[in-house]
Structure formats: structure tokens, C-alpha cells
């Protein structure tokens, strides 16, 4: 958002209400034991990431938080934004043991597969 010189300043509350919402960029990897989801969340502080599971969906929400003490913006190419994305959980995910780590702007969600969904080797015996 760019404020033209001489344009009236809007109160901070109005600016927050207009925050754009983006779907974060995602990479997904699958192994025999888990599915890992990596989400790019630039500018999101540690405590501003929320994950929720409801039915068979994983909801990811996050918010950036630039300091209001910087003054009134005269030009902005990035600013406070919200991230939101919903994922359908794959069959066989052990929802009780999902965990997530947030480091350097990247959220890694570990979705372990239940034992019944993991490949297993079957012993073949001679009779």
C-alpha cells in the first residue's frame, strides 16, 4: 500500500482491518513414517503462528507484526499481513502426535503416519 503525499493518515485500527491475507508458500515431503509440511512465513514472530485440527483438516494461521513505533508509513512494499491456509489431512496421519517447529520464518509441521499406515515388511517362512 502506498500513501500519496498529502493523503489523510488513517488511524492504526483502520490499517489493521485492511490487512491483506495471503496463502503461504508450501513444500510437502512424504517418507515411510511421516508427512512434513514446510510453510514460508516471513516476518512472523514466534508466538504468532496458530495451527488447528478440525475433522480432517489442518488450519494454519499466522500474522506479521511490524512495530507501530516506526512512524507513519510514506511508502510500503511490504507490511503487516495475515497468512491463512487449510489442508486436508492425508489418511493414516496420527493426528494426536502432530508437532510443529517455527525457525527463521519457516514453519515445519510433522504429520506422523499411524503404524497401520506405514509400510512394513512381512516375514516369509519356509514350511
Domain that holds residue 36: 17-67+77-115
- Sheet strands (E) in 23-127: 26-30, 34-40, 49-54, 57-63, 82-88, 99-103, 106-112
Report the CATH number that the domain containing residue 36 is assigned in CATH: 2.60.40.790
Q: What is the pLDDT of residues 90-115, one digit of tens each?
A: 888 998 999 999 999 999 999 999 87
pLDDT at 120 over 90: no
Number of domain units in the chain? 1
Pick 123 or 53 by higher pLDDT. Answer: 53
Alpha carbon 81 to chain centroid distance?
13
Amino acid at each position: 500500500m502506498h500513501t500519496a503525499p498529502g493523503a489523510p493518515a488513517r488511524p492504526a485500527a483502520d490499517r489493521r482491518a485492511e490487512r491483506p491475507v495471503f496463502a503461504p508458500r508450501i513444500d510437502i515431503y512424504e517418507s515411510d513414517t511421516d508427512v512434513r509440511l514446510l510453510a514460508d512465513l516471513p516476518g512472523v514472530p514466534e508466538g504468532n503462528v496458530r495451527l488447528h485440527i478440525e475433522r480432517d483438516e489442518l488450519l494454519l494461521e499466522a500474522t506479521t507484526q511490524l512495530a507501530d513505533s516506526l512512524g507513519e508509513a510514506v511508502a510500503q512494499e511490504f507490511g503487516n499481513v495475515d497468512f491463512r491456509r487449510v489442508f486436508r489431512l492425508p489418511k493414516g496421519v496420527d493426528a494426536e502426535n502432530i508437532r510443529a517447529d517455527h525457525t527463521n520464518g519457516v514453519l515445519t509441521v510433522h504429520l506422523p503416519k499411524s503404524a497401520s499406515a506405514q509400510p512394513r515388511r512381512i516375514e516369509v517362512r519356509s514350511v
